[in-house]
Amino acid sequence: MSEEQKWSAEEIEGIKEEILTALETVIDPELGIDIVNLGLIYEIEFEETGDTVIKMTLTTMGCPLADILTEQIHQAVADIPEVKNVEVKLVWYPAWTTDKMSRYARIALGIR
């Protein structure tokens, strides 16, 4: 590990897992399931500077909850000391389908 490098690859993966766990506290108000189990989180990028980009989608393009969920995401990761700046990027590809949901979410919503 070079002197400039703050964290090892394993530590960065651990931080990303911590971010993902924090995102499980963000509940979609319409469906009552967290955004991780709904399959809305596509990618988490974490830089050694603490800059974090969370790529996510929504169940529909015109979803009126984008601002609410973005605010809740910022609140959810605020207590992670390694995370300094958070950018939430909405992406539409690949399109979200119920196939992206976890088994837990599918059972909770009665989807087979």
**pLDDT(1) > 80:** no
> What is the percentage of the chain residues whose pLDDT exceeds 90?
79
Rounded to whole angstroms, the Cα distance separating 50 from 94 reads: 27
Query: What order of strands is seen across the sheet that includes strand 41-46?
Result: 41-46, 51-56, 85-90
**What is the DSSP secondary structure assignment for residue 4, as one 8-state letter?**
T
* Residue that the structure tokens 């599918």 belong to: 106
Which CATH superfamily groups domain 9-97?
A: Fe-S cluster assembly (FSCA) (3.30.300.130)
The average pLDDT across 38-66 equals 92
Cα–Cα–Cα angle for 86, 75, 64, nearest 5°? 85
